[in-house]
A and B are shown apart, each in its own frame.
Chain A
Amino acid sequence: MKIKKDKFKDALASIAKEAKVFLPMKGVYASEYRVWDGAGEPFFERNTALPPKELLFPRSERMYEYDLNAGTVTEAAPDEKIVIAGIRPCDVRSVEHLDKVFLESEYTDVYYRARRENLTMIAYGCATPAPTCFCDSMDVVPTDAPGADVVMNDAGNSYVLTVNTPKGEHIRDLISSFLSEGKADDVPAVSCSLKVEKPDDLHKQLIARFDDPMWETLSDACLGCGCCSYICPTCYCFDIGRENRGKTGTAFRCWDSCMFSDYSRMAGGHNPRPTKKERLRNRYLHKLAYFPERYGTSLCVGCGRCIDKCPARLDITNVPDIIQGSESNG
């Protein structure tokens, strides 16, 4: 199936009749997935600076209202239908990882589930990865996204569409009047220029080097700003707080970062991760060792955002590089 590029916005308008459509767009400060107002242009040149995770896991989200006078708590129930048109394969993979945490582990997160069930993802295959992209080293195919409902790839004056799921079939039916026949197999293969060699037992090797001086060196320049967690599509740690008015108020959760000292500090002052060395080690090991141990897959999708935006030029790919280097040095 194909859709002519000049019909793309008409197709979006058909979808927008029944769901809120989000597109990668240029923002004032950073590119991000924004609500499409019916006229805005998609930004497809490179991936957005901000990840799409907030559509499933908002920066700040109401969980429940409490009323101590009445003795009640009232649960929030998000129910908005959302379609993301133009999510990159790396970001689709990040959603699959978030699913593991919020849907497939011991407890189901009801807020995430409500948003996830209402989400349709139309992926946009990457034709030109950025210099910081390394998704194909992290088992993502730049031009394909099996976890998306629909995948679209640029083919000159049109997009080639592949439907993966019943939600995708629904999108196809909504926009059928704009579609024409076309093959999907004419998408040229794409390769990232940044390559990361990682051994199969990387997680074991990293844990074995828990006390290695390399963590000190790696974290030396870290400012503890938390930018990496904020723009990471898979960083899902959160804090729970409340906005209180006397005896009533709202409990909310919001993004948190393991790079902050407050994150793990206990009442009484003890902090199991007292310096940036322990904090950076925990973040990298969570991505590359702990998550693989628990969920069977690396938590890094190779989107390269943290490399691109870190003010201190920290680079997560240095970690497997060091392991590889030390291996080859014997």
Chain B
Amino acid sequence: MVEIDHGCKCPGNPLLPQICKVIKITEETPDVKTFRIQTLDGKKPFTPLPGQLAMISVLNVGEAMFSLTAQGDDWIESSIKRVGFLTEALHNLFEGDLVGVRGPYGNHFPTEELKGRDILFVGGGIGLAPVRSFIRHAIAHRKDYGELDVLYGSRSYGDLVFKEDIFDHWPKACNTHITIDIEEDGWDGHVGFVPSYLEEKAFSPEGKAVVLCGPPIMITFCLISLAKMGFSKENVITTLEMRMKCGVGKCGRCNIGSKYVCLDGPVFTMAELEDLPDEQ
């Protein structure tokens, strides 16, 4: 059983952003960019735990909640897919432009509780972004964890995010299994959807926890596959998204039952989600 810690508090006004600078922009795919963010005096805005969230704003456009995918000594990073009004504005930024940042919000992946365990990370599309914060943590603390597997898939080679990580860095520390949905020229890796690849690999549920994030349809089928493979709901961990405005459990909209995704989530075990009303 994976217990999830639900505590986090920030001092001051939680709705007030700090002005930060985008110091590096990486084009991951045609519609995903990674933004490296630093305070104006060259510091890290705050130190998030793996899986925590931040409200990022283009101050004269709007703000939205994003997962933080990585952090360094003096920066945090978020990978953002272009899907709407604000993300379009973010994608139009240049290095050196200012953004507002507030956080960190929400709970985090159970990095302590999973010490000594094997972990299977499963990601689909941009869903690898939140999971990456935990993968990076696990690799940085490699001795604390057992066997690490990363199974990641996307529509096409071009849509795979974090290519340097998945092809160069991570294979040195964990087993990586990469797949794309349909065949394409120049790709000699696995072809097929994430859930079927999962079953093909036949991971043993013995001592293993699964950290899962991707589009809803992929999650639905992965859960079916994982259940078939013998993984219990307590050992499958996912991270959710909902529309959010405040990030601190007040503005109302991100609730699932009496839980707020911004505050009590975004990380839940499947067992916890089963106890909540079945919102879509």
Contact = CB atoms under 8 A, between A and B. Distances in A.
Contact of B13 (A75, A241, A267): A75
Contacts of B61: 242, 244
B245 interface: yes
A64 interface: yes
B198 interface: no
A92 to B, nearest CB: 21
B64 interface: yes
B84 A68 contact: no
A73 B16 contact: yes
B60 A247 contact: yes
Nearest to B63: A240
Interface residues of A, number: 54
Nearest to A283: B252
A107 interface: yes
A107 B14 contact: yes
A63 interface: yes
Q: Is the interface of B mostly helix, strand, loop or mixed?
A: loop
A111 to B, nearest CB: 8
Contacts of B278: 210-211
A258 B277 contact: no
Interface in A95-139: 101-102, 105-107, 109-111
Interface stretch (B175-183, B189-197, B206-214, B253-261): B253-261
Interface residues of B, number: 46
Q: Which of B40, B62, B243: most chain A Cβ within 10 A? A: B243
Contact of A73 (B18, B245, B248): B18
B242 A272 contact: yes
A285 B255 CA distance: 11
Given A107-B9, A244-B60, A71 B258 contact: no
A293 B258 CA distance: 7
A267 B87 contact: yes
Contacts of B250: 101-102, 105, 107, 109, 236, 238
B246 interface: yes
The 10 closest A-B pairs by CB, nearest first: A267-B84, A237-B252, A290-B258, A293-B258, A107-B248, A268-B83, A244-B60, A210-B277, A110-B13, A66-B59
22 contacts: A64-B16, A68-B98, A73-B59, A102-B250, A105-B250, A109-B15, A111-B15, A237-B252, A239-B245, A241-B62, A242-B60, A242-B61, A242-B62, A253-B251, A264-B254, A266-B243, A267-B87, A272-B280, A273-B280, A285-B277, A290-B255, A290-B258
Interface of A: 63-64, 66, 68, 71-73, 75, 101-102, 105-107, 109-111, 207, 210-211, 236-242, 244, 246-249, 251, 253, 256, 258, 263-268, 270, 272-274, 278, 282, 285-286, 289-291, 293-294
